[in-house]
Structure 1
Amino acid sequence: MFKKSFSLLIALVMLFSMFTSVVISADNTTEEKFEYLKDRGIFSGYSDGLPHLEDKMTREQAAKIIALIFDLDLSDIPNKPTFTDVGKDLWSYEYIEAVAAADIINGIGRKEFAPKDSVSIEEFAKMLAVGYEYVTNKQIDMDDTTNSKHLSAWAQPYVTAALDWDLIEKQNNYQKLAKRDFLVESAYSTFAKVKKYTGSGSKLKVKSIQADNLREVVLKFNMDVDKDSAENKKNYDISGSVDVDRAELQKNRNTVILIVSDMDNQEEYEIEIDGVMSERGYILEDDEHDFEPFDGDLPEIEKIEFTGPKSFVVTFNEPIKEADKDNFTVKTGSKKLSKKEVNINGNNEREVEVILYTELDDGEEYEITISGVEDYAGYTNISYKDSYDYEDEYDEPIAKIIDATAMVVEVEFNKPVKGLTPDHFYHTYSSWEADDIYRSSEFTSENEIDKDDKVTTVYVVFDEAHALPSGKVEFTIKDKENDIEIVDNWGNVFDEETYIVKIESDREEPTVTDVEIVSGTEIKIAFSERIKSFKEGSFVILDENDDEIDVDIDLIPSGDYESVTLELDESLEGKTIILEISDLVDDTLYENEMDKYAIELDIDDLTFAGINRVEFHDDGDDDYYLYVVYNEEVNETALDSDHYRLKNGGSITKLNGDFDFYENDKIVKIELSEDETDEIHLGATKLLVSDIEDVNDNTFDAFQIEVLIHELGDYPPFVHNDGIEAISRNEVAIQFDQELIEIDTDDFLIRGTYINDKGNLKTGEMIIDGLDVEYNEDGTIITFTLENEIAYTGNLDVKVTFDIEDIHDPGTYNVFGVSPQEFSSKSAIDGISPEVEMKMIGDDEVEHIFAISEGGDSDQIDHIVIVFTEKIDAGSVYKNQFTVDHYEVKDAYTVRDYTKINSHNSRGGVVEDSRYVVLRVKEKNKYDLDETPEITIDANEIEDTEGNLFEGIKSSDNIEVISAEDA
């Protein structure tokens, strides 16, 4: 099935919604440059959200800036500190070691770095110049000087190089301490030049894509990537309805493993990567690659690890699909141990846990045999047998913090533990306990952790009232709560521990990252972060005219609330729609509200429209045929005899004749044998049809469908009661339910009230002057053009008769020569849009709009009357739909009698549905009535009494002004 996906995380959206700066530009303000660098982690903001550009900066802060600007290697950091005053526990340790290893920033002597000392302008200029020399291979001329009274001798060549290379701006005093505004400006300039110099060689690219099994796709990038963007599964889209369940950045920082839904072996797929960012800030946008998963290997055991006295975990080299107790044998001597459970780890399908009924003995050797374990390609492992010495473990469990936000802390234990409850976790105060705990980032009831569950990863969730504040926060895991201890499988108890976590306030509003049309009734929307709740009123669907489409929407959120599926009660296939989203907030402490979002979507053909009818035909020469009429064009699958059967009671017969398209690709002609013909009992025999595809490769929802066979002509083309509509003053459209290949205007009679050539009302036959034919999914629309205009008489008076004069030689018929069913005097629906009535002033035809003045031509205008061609719905008229130059519209309404309008009794005429719309106006400024005002009326707001919309106008300035008495 064809599936159209709109990937919205393009550069423009990324840089406007995720980052503050649009592009690197000297025209940006210092604040914008700061935000740009902050969003890339180069600068850090303060807890109040302000940049504080007037502040000084320390040497350790400068080390971080330099390391990130020049993309220094942060992975090869020594275990032993280089400087005595920079310990491994210092937040800046990796940055200081990186700049020291690159010889960009040195210590101050005595093996000290002085991380808390402030940085001067000339010191930072040297850092920039040396760093730029390091990455570009340019040379600093140590003899160069700059004419300045406030520049140290040692700094002369460095400052000169920084000025020559446009890394810094000229300063009056280079010896004073640098404020953050100078550091921002110079770091921004240098970062821009580094990006420009490195060019495409340093752009983020995918080096390789590998899929050695059917559940994992391994992406290797040419540089380290940002963790948040790399692990955002919405940044990856794989063809063939393959879903990305999660993305895991590996320790080397340049490899991402995608855990995906089942893929087919040796099937070609396309992956689109959009929004992954490198550590330096390069963004990969709309990057598409083809890959072909190939699993030709049997699963192999990589290791076996005892996780308790009754359990062990087997790690395979690929994800496992099927494993049960019969696949594992555990023996000691001649004794065989019984298995209680075998479970595949839902978070890591490479791991299979085996739980035994009896405990293993300390120091005993056990023989483990494994066979028949199946991977996703259907291969099973070669029988494995090995012996292992089991030892009881006495080390207590250890936990570490993986990630922390204001609402969620991710904790990882070094081995499975149980006994976990929300009350075991708190921050800041012991009473600020967690609200709930989960085994995955999808916070659903299925993933809630019970005290008896054994887990290694825990997502600790706090409610809004007890969210973690910004800055450094104490987070504690208790060893015991309500007499429940956290223990591993051996019974070792976790020791209570307090961790320091750093929380950065989330001030970013959520954004839409992807809109995917799943079907005509299903639209999936992905967001940049978790949404607090989805409300029906937040999603509005409009047509191309910005009018809301009357469709009921059910909202189906994903488990992580980072996406939602809109399920519609009717299909919008074939339509262009506008989807508007508003009033959504993220699920953070600050409940950041997303900007109003709108996107235009083309809903393509995503479903098979099915079969219209099946007709049996005897041509009189002992030749018999079935005609299968589909509701849309079908492909060659419709000519395969294996897809058709006759069903007569309990008897099913295969068709063996020739299959051909007849006239077009919607009709299949099937030649019948005499025996097959004898099987057909009209109105009782059914044709079974299966596996047919339309031209867009859509197929039936059901395995097969059954259609009754009828005599050719039993279902002639037909016009429903609402199938005739006057769509303009000289056009009448008729919708037939089948395609007509021939149309004779003599078969049609249109009668009604019209305006003749002399401008008089006449009732009788209306002359057809031309016709237009359009084929649609419902059949055929015939639009007749009339010689004279349909008149407005309070109600539409148009009736159509279809009468074939010579039934044996019809002039209007379908592809089988069958004429439509006759009908007489069917009334046409009023589909004519209201218009402003036209009138003649001299030789000019102008809108029938006039202004009423209390004092005639010399005084100000009090009212404006607009005359429409038909009655206007009084409830559709509002003052804000009208704009009158130099006047304020105080009121707008319809009246039965505008002659009773005056300034003292502005609504003298009874307000009701009427052709007359009155505007009560007030002059804004003194205005010369010799120049009458132009009037603008909004489009698609005002309706006539039949619900047809007025298309709007901007009137001419030829508006007559009359006195109240004359009105």
Structure 2
Amino acid sequence: MSNTGNPFTSNSNYKNTNHVMISRGGEKKFMKKILSVALSTAMAFSMFASVAFGQAGLTDVNAQYSYLKEKGIFSGFPDGQAHLDRQMTRAEFAKVITKTLGLKEINGVYSFKDKNYGAKHWAAPFVEAVSAAGIMEGKNTTKKIFDLSGPVTVQEMATVLVRALDLEVPTETNNSATAWAKGYVQAAINAGLVDAKANFQSNADRALLVGAAYAVDQELSLQVASYTVSEGGKVVEFKMSDDETVKVTLDKALEANKETEVKFTYKDKEFTEKVTYVVTAATKVQSVTASNLKQVVVTFDGDLDEETAENAKNYSFSKTIDKAELSADKKSVVLTLKGENYSDTNKLENQKAVKIKVDGVKNSDKSKTFSEEITFTPVDVTIPKVNEVKGLGTKAFQVEFSEPVDRATAISTVNYKIDGKSIAGSVEYTSPTTVVITTELATGEHKLTVNGVRDFAGFVVTPVENEFTVAVDTEAPTVVTSKSTDLTKVEIEFNEPLKSVGKVYNGVSSKTGQVTRSGNKITVEFTRENALSVSENTIVVEGATDYSGNSATREVKITPTLDTTRPEVASLTTSVKDNGEVELKVKYSESVNFATSKENYTIKDKDGKVVSGNGLDSAGHPVRDIALNSAKTEATITLSSSFKQGTYTLAVAGVQDNAYVPNTILPYSGTFEVGDTTTPELKSAWVELGTANTDGARDVSFYLTYSKDMAIEGSGSVLEKTKYNVKWTASSDTYEALPTNATVDLITSDTVKVTVPNTKKTVDASGSAIRVTLVADKAGNFAYKNNGYVGYVTAKPNSAVRATEANAVSNNKITVKFDAKLSSIDANDFAIKNTVTGDTYAVSYDGVNSDAYNFVLRGDKVLPADAANYAFVVTADVPNSATEFGVKVDSELTINLADKIAPAIVSENPLKVTGSGTSYEARVTFDEAITAVSGTNVVSAAVTGVTVSNVAYKAEGKDLVVTFTTDKALTTDSVVTVELNASNADSKVVKDAKGNAAKSFSKSVVFK
């Protein structure tokens, strides 16, 4: 059903848009069927009540007739009337079908013997057309009579429809049509085209034919006029020939610049259109190649932004890039490496894969900033050659090579001959691919032979003669183009290479710039004092001299195109250092300022709350200094190794670029993940000895327990035998590989069993040393110790579990780490012992956190702030605490407590304030002696209703002494507040003698 109410129709029936469709203008038979469907629809609508199709456009039959007459489908009668009530003849029917369906009229063929039928009969081309198409046949096929003037009955029309549609004609019929037509009529009835109760023998009038022809014409004329693609290739809007628009939303976005068939339905008609999402701006890196060892070509699938594409800092790999040049088609960038001599190490290695990172390059409409890493393999198998020789007057000529060549061989005059003779002159290496040779030349044709010049793969140029022409040059260099995107830099291109340039200045001779010459281009950099204005400037180039000695002073009018592009965060990456510290790298789209200002970075958790501690202050800003690379394009933020796993956001603000008129970054928020970064350790090992057989051989099993769940696949798998070596006795000097029949099995997620079967190797009481290499936990963190990814542990028979670390973390809490995981813990096995008095204090078990077991002192017992002279001990003769393998804790275990207790302010009257006038001192008393590093904002002081300044602080014994001045004297109701903020946990500005950061506090007192 057509939609005439809404000019913009959404195609909600569209499903899959990306499968292959039959193209428009397909096979003739297919088109005939489509057209016949349209014809049948129109006829059925006009003739039969059972068909539920409607017509769009003109509804009055007279108006339809006028429209068709203008198109030449109907001609009318000599009296000018339509006579729509008259019966239509078969000749008229043939013409209308031919014209409506667009069949080719056939001349010169006359298949029927009707009276007066022939070359002069108006209907002959149409009759032959429908006959050849198999749509109509003669009334009497034996006598070849078409019956030109005969009427067209309903059953004849039904027959035409069935033939045009190529419908199957049934053998069983149930209709009132004439016998010859019963099958065709039944097919039309079965297809829903004909009412079974119709009078099939009756004749149809011309009005019926007009209605049918008009409907078919409207179907045929309805087509796609144009289309547009939007929303990144997800939406296609088709403008139809009736001025309505069909919007198609695709399940899968169109691939840029690739023709794709899209199917949709409009006004009950199915369309299949070939659509191309034309994208000129690049969307991806298409390839990275290197056909020589000094240049890398990065090719994109579209156009690039020139400024970022030619910024060499936006490309990085193991070699140093000298310059980046964008190709004329704006799609490829040639990266030339630094170094001019063959002996330079800064060149690619032939046929050795290398990774390059593209980070910060933008496409031409700046809708995408690329950040990706690509692996490519340089392949240099090509002999360098001379691409072009160009005369530069009668005193010099230029030689351009096909690739970068070695400077030493390129500047040697013995490698060049003109007309078979050696050159008397000099060679200037103007670029890695170009040299200019200064020598006297006669006008006319010359031949240059180059020999001995080599590329960076060691291939030598083939000595081929190159013809070139020398003509007298009497014209001084002229300016071709000029530009300035910053008020301190101008680029000017001349029509020929320059041998030298004199002074270049901005308007007045005193405002000179620094000139760099390269071929026919110069770059002029001005100081900020001599910078250009934002309006038109006159740049004067004195002494622009070519190689023929022609010199002139040239003036250039330049209105700078200011850099108004704000810097952006091109990428945000997370990595973990060997010591477990988390690093955030913020890559900017260009060189920036204020990227080391800590307040410009804020870290929040996934719920949007500011994160503090572990390298961040109370406002979520980094505590440590932020590192900026030499190019000023990448900032590195370092967080502590204890930074919790999770999803975070980094907000960046206030960063500016280095443009003369700085552009400030728009507020940026990026998400980053911090995974499991803790390094696994080989915690413990013990040996299980099997029963010896008659010849003394037995199975020996080593149990190795790690601090974390370990990887069982990939490069860090703990199940690979090659990662274990055994030094069987303490007296041995050699680590041996496991025998081929050894096995490694995972017993629990953190414990493996290494079995050496039927061995005569012995393990004495001192145990065997196990060396483990290149094993990692499930998160991919490798065990790291000594000189590589290596762990060593001694395995003894019936080894007891020992404590490796015991920390007093508060006045009544102790955390203990053992060299094995305990599955059962009896707190009665343990106690805290005063190593001076011998007194012991009972403890309670308080759970495990990661691999640290927590114990608390019972009752009101507390440790001193410095935890001196206390140890964690086992008091049970036969401890119950053991691993799941039954290995018990060592009954003789004693380990001194390490002081991890944070200094805290005393509970009673910790803050006292003294002073008068505008000078005051606040003393905050801690429970142990402290030290303090002055000059930070970690300590602050404030007074209600008073301006405080000149805050300073120092440590005196257990006191933190804070001094400050005020703008007026304090009164007896003045409230003084001293604060040590949460960032002290990382910065440790205030700490005890063992380096424990003091607990943060905010304490207020009324001045008296």
Q: Output the TM-score relative to the length of structure 1.
A: 0.49
Q: Output the TM-score relative to the length of structure 2.
A: 0.47
